[in-house]
Each structure stands twice: as structure tokens, then as C-alpha cells.
Chain A
Amino acid sequence: MIDTEDHPLLRAQALTKWYGRQLGCRDISFDLYPGEVMAVVGESGSGKTTLLQLLSAQLAPTAGRVLYRMRDGIMRDLASMGEAERRFLFRTDWGYVHQEPTLGLRMAVSGGANVGERLMAVGWRHYGRIRGAAKDWFDRVEIASDRIDDPPATYSGGMRQRLQIARNLVTDPRLVFMDEPTGGLDVSVQARLLDLIRGLVGELRLAAIIVTHDLAVARMLSHRIIVMKDGAAVESGLTDQVLEDPREPYTQLLVSSILPA
């Protein structure tokens, strides 16, 4: 259920990024509301990853702004936040799921500690409770709890990705960024992961921005979609509408390129 009150959670205004003379993305604007999932689709070089990094304050825009509504209701320009504030936001209110789970995990530290780290970072000091919360999340992302003391270096790719998700969701974030969350996984593993993401996002009323080149992932997870090509937003709107009734030539090309099951 989407919270349809009138206040956007994240607002992008004319976001533009140039890398020297190379265009990352140009003039992207949208509002994202609590509980909404938006897919950003495009092929390699479309600028979708640049956009995700701009939105999550990992890159500074060349032009435009990103505004985020803090828990106290005030809309803040990410560029105006100090580094401490941004990092705090990243650890509590936001999640970021990398395509490559080793980038989003501490591989040499146990799975339980990976999940508990954010809690410890915000001041949890009771070992039993931290471990309990970690176990809880292991159940939710369907990792056997007897693996809780094993480091993710010993996990399969799918398990690592699920651990990454647990690690990000443990602090009850309101907005999750995902960069090709199922990229590089076997098809059956992908299906399981997508289902898990879908369930968690719905249950926790998360807002999410998911970058993917896979339209099936977009269709399954998102309410809204932005189609990117060469740094620009070619078409955007309701996911089922854009994918069923594509208007732009590029979108029609993308949709028709999917091999039927």
C-alpha cells in the first residue's frame, strides 16, 4: 500500500552530471513518495548508475538538486548536508544494495556481525539483543541461522546478496537504493531474491529506486519507471503503462527486445 499523502520523500530537480566533457545524465526530475518503488532502466551507458549515485549523494551534481525529507518532515538539499550528516543518513534512513555483494559487505567478518554493525554504529550495546536482531533478519532473508557466525566469504552469491539486503534493512530505512540487485546471479537464485525483495518492500513500506537493465525485474518490483538512454530520461510513468503501451521509439525497441519466455 502506498502512502499517498502529499509529501514526496525524495525529489530530484533537473539533475545533471558531466564528467568533464562526457555526459553522465541530464536534466532528470521526479518525485518519489513513501512506499513507492521506482525502476530506472536502460542499457549500459544510459546514465542510470550515475543517476543512482547522484540520488544517494555519492556523487555531486554538476547542476540540479536532490532533496530528501528527513524524519522530522523537513526537506533538505543533500548538497547542503555536512559529511557527518550524510553518512549518518546512509547508515540509518537509507540502504544501498550493490550489484556486487562484496562491495556492500565485510567479507572477513561473520554474517551476524555484518547485520549487527549498523545497530552497533547507532549505539546498540547489548550483545544478546544485537545477535537476536541479526538472527531475526537471517530468518527474514532466508539464510539458515546456523550460518550466522560464518563470514560471507563462505556464502554463495545468492546468500551474500540476501545478507547485503539484511544488513541494509536492519535499521529500518525509509529509502533503499539498489543497483542491479540480481545481476550476476543464476536465474533460479534471481527469482528467489526478487520475490524476497518484493515481499520485504511491500511489508516494510519501503521506498526504493532500483537500477536495472532487466525489464522483468522492473515489472515485478516497481510501480513507476524511468527509461534512460544516453543520459536522458526518454520516457517515464507507471511501470505497467510504459511497458504495455510504450510511446517512445526507444522504449518500444527495449520492450520488443525481450525474448518471450
Chain B
Amino acid sequence: MYALDVINVRKSFTLHLQGGLHLPVVAGVSFAARPGECIALVGPSGCGKSSILKMIFGGYRCDGGRILIRDGDRIADIATASPRAIIGIRQRAMSYVSQFLRAVPRVAAIDVVAQALDHAAPEQARASAAFLLRRLNIPERLTTVPPATFSGGEQQRVNIARGFLPDRPVLLLDEPTASLDSENRDAVIDLIAEKKRRGVAVVAIIHDSKVRDAVADQVVDVASFAAA
């Protein structure tokens, strides 16, 4: 059974500040991911890949269609779920790694990662966070520093750690290896593979063909969903 089923989704923007300019983005988006499967979204820049990921996560609204996700023993539709329901689904069923880390000032990198888990077991969360950061080659002395001063690649690795820490059935990745060197790229490939083995359904935007070839089970060309 599918962990994530995107059915006939469409999205457009209406820019009221530009006199109501109507910008269609995508239409007819359909694909599905099984547990343990990785779907790679490809296509030229601006064709709507990030928008699709955001719609799945609930960060963007969608104008039509359904986004079905398995939440425990129910199936929820993100496209029409209430804000409160989406918050719950995110906590239980989805993890999202954006392209850029939105760093909260003053919070140490290890806590930025650890806070992806519930506050319930802070010591355990920090231990797991430390482990992940080590795997992503973040030196220990940096883990207690807020990531605002990190390099782009370091920030992205903190972001990745935060997204990979919780154990949730759906994992959304937006360009996870974009600013990484080859060593770290390989580390991320390993992490994705582990998630797949654990039955997580992964939807990822991956430009790097090497990475794509290593992890993707399905490739979806978003350009084919271009709205008219």
C-alpha cells in the first residue's frame, strides 16, 4: 500500500500586488510512493518541484486534487486537512528538509537538531542528534555553537540531521546534497538508503545524477505537469 499518494494536484499563484497576475505552476500532478521507495523529482528550475514538496508538507496550499498520506491507521488528505490536523500529521508522519536552514539565533546546532524530536526525552534526543551530526562530519566543537555562522554546506548538514532525526514514514528532501562535497554526499546517500531500509517513503529533489542513481527507485519529471 502507498505511504504517499499524490492525485491530480494543481497549483497556481495569484499575485495581487502585480494587478492580480495569475501564474499557473503545475496541474495534474500524480505519483505515489510505497514504504521504502524513493521518488526523485526532476525538471528544469522553476517548473514546480519545490512547490510540490511544499504542498505535500502543507507549506503551500494546493488548488485542487488530493494528497493522501498514511497517518497511523487512517488516511489523511493534506490538501483539505484543517491546520490543526496538518500539524498533527507533520508531527507523526512527515519530515521535511528544506533547501536552506532557517537558523534560530542562539540555539546550538545540536539543539536545533534535537528539537526535531518531542521535548519528552531531551537527553536521548541530544545523544541521537550528536550521533547524526558526527555521521555528517560536523566537528564536535561546532555542535554547541549556533549554526548562524556556519558555512552553507555545514548549515545544510545541520538541516539534514534535523530532518533525518525523527522516525517518520514520509521524508521530503529539497536538494539535500546541493552544497555538499563528495564525502558528505556519500554520507547522505547512506542515510537515505538506511531510511529506505526502514520503510520510509522518500520524495526528493535531486539535481546530482550520481546521487539520484544511487537512491531513486522512480524518477518523476515535473516538467510533464506544467500547467497550461
List chain A positions with a Cβ less than 8 A from chain B: 1-2, 4, 31, 33, 36, 191-192, 195, 198, 202-203, 220, 223-224, 237-238, 240-241, 244-245, 247-249, 252-253, 256
Q: Is the CB of B86 within 8 A of A238?
A: yes
Instruction: Determine which of B83, B106, B115 lies in contact with A237 in the assembled complex, contact meaning CB atoms within 8 Å.
Output: B83
Instruction: Determine which of A36, A223, A245 lies in contact with B59 in the assembled complex, contact meaning CB atoms within 8 Å.
Output: A245
Bound CA–CA A241/B61 (angstroms): 7
Q: Is the CB of A191 within 8 A of B105?
A: yes
Bound CA–CA A118/B14 (angstroms): 51
Tell me if B228 counts as interface (CB < 8 A to partner A): no
- Residue-wise interface mask of B (103-123) relative to A, using a CB-CB cutoff of 8 A (1 in contact, 0 not): 011110000000100111000
Instruction: Determine which of A4, A203, A252 lies in contact with B119 in the assembled complex, contact meaning CB atoms within 8 Å.
Output: A203
Bound CA–CA A12/B84 (angstroms): 16
Q: Nearest CB to that of B16 among chain A residues?
A: A249
Most buried by A among B13, B105, B118: B105
Q: How many whole Å from B130's CB to the nearest CB in chain A?
A: 19
Near A by CB (< 8 A), chain B positions 66-89 give 83-88
26 contacts between A and B (CB under 8 A): A1-B118, A1-B119, A1-B120, A4-B84, A4-B85, A36-B87, A191-B105, A195-B104, A202-B119, A220-B104, A223-B83, A223-B87, A224-B83, A224-B84, A238-B58, A238-B59, A238-B83, A240-B58, A240-B59, A241-B58, A245-B54, A248-B16, A249-B17, A252-B15, A253-B16, A253-B17
Q: How many whole Å from A105's CB to the nearest CB in chain B?
A: 25
Q: Is the CB of B83 within 8 A of A252?
A: no
List chain B positions with a Cβ less than 8 A from chain A: 13-17, 54, 58-61, 83-88, 91, 104-107, 115, 118-120
Bound CA–CA A103/B119 (angstroms): 32
Chain A residues closer than 8 Å to B91, beta-carbon distance? 1-2, 4
Q: Is the CB of A195 within 8 A of B119?
A: no
Q: How many whole Å from A98's CB to the nearest CB in chain B?
A: 24
Chain A residues closer than 8 Å to B86, beta-carbon distance? 238
Bound CA–CA A36/B87 (angstroms): 9
Q: How many whole Å from A204's CB to the nearest CB in chain B?
A: 9
Bound CA–CA A4/B17 (angstroms): 37
Q: Nearest CB to that of B54 among chain A residues?
A: A244
Q: Nearest CB to that of A224 among chain B residues?
A: B83
Asked, given contacts A1-B120, A2-B91, A220-B104, whether A247 binds B83 with beta carbons under 8 Å apart, the answer is no
Contacts A238-B83, A238-B86 known; 13 new A-B pairs at CB < 8 A: A1-B118, A1-B120, A2-B84, A4-B85, A31-B84, A195-B106, A202-B115, A220-B104, A240-B59, A245-B60, A249-B17, A252-B15, A252-B17
Q: Nearest CB to that of A248 among chain B residues?
A: B16
Q: Nearest CB to that of A239 among chain B residues?
A: B83
Q: Is the CB of A244 within 8 A of B60?
A: yes
Bound CA–CA A78/B83 (angstroms): 25
Q: Is the CB of A4 within 8 A of B61?
A: no
Bound CA–CA A248/B14 (angstroms): 9
Chain B residues closer than 8 Å to A4, beta-carbon distance? 84-85, 87-88, 91
Q: Nearest CB to that of A245 among chain B residues?
A: B60
Q: Nearest CB to that of A192 among chain B residues?
A: B106
Asked, given contacts A1-B119, A202-B119, whether A245 binds B87 with beta carbons under 8 Å apart, the answer is no
Q: How many whole Å from A168's CB to the nearest CB in chain B?
A: 20
Chain B residues closer than 8 Å to A241, beta-carbon distance? 58-61, 83
Q: How many whole Å from B172's CB to the nearest CB in chain A?
A: 14
Q: Nearest CB to that of A244 among chain B residues?
A: B59
Q: Nearest CB to that of A198 among chain B residues?
A: B104
Chain A residues closer than 8 Å to B105, beta-carbon distance? 191, 195
Asked, given contacts A238-B83, A252-B17, whether A245 binds B88 with beta carbons under 8 Å apart, the answer is no
Q: How many whole Å from B201's CB to the nearest CB in chain A?
A: 22
Q: Nearest CB to that of B62 among chain A residues?
A: A245
Bound CA–CA A256/B18 (angstroms): 12
Bound CA–CA A203/B120 (angstroms): 8
Bound CA–CA A32/B104 (angstroms): 25
Chain A residues closer than 8 Å to B60, beta-carbon distance? 241, 244-245
Q: Nearest CB to that of B57 among chain A residues?
A: A240
Q: How many whole Å from B51's CB to the nearest CB in chain A?
A: 9
Q: Is the CB of B84 within 8 A of A36?
A: yes
Bound CA–CA A4/B89 (angstroms): 10
Q: Is the CB of B17 within 8 A of A247?
A: no
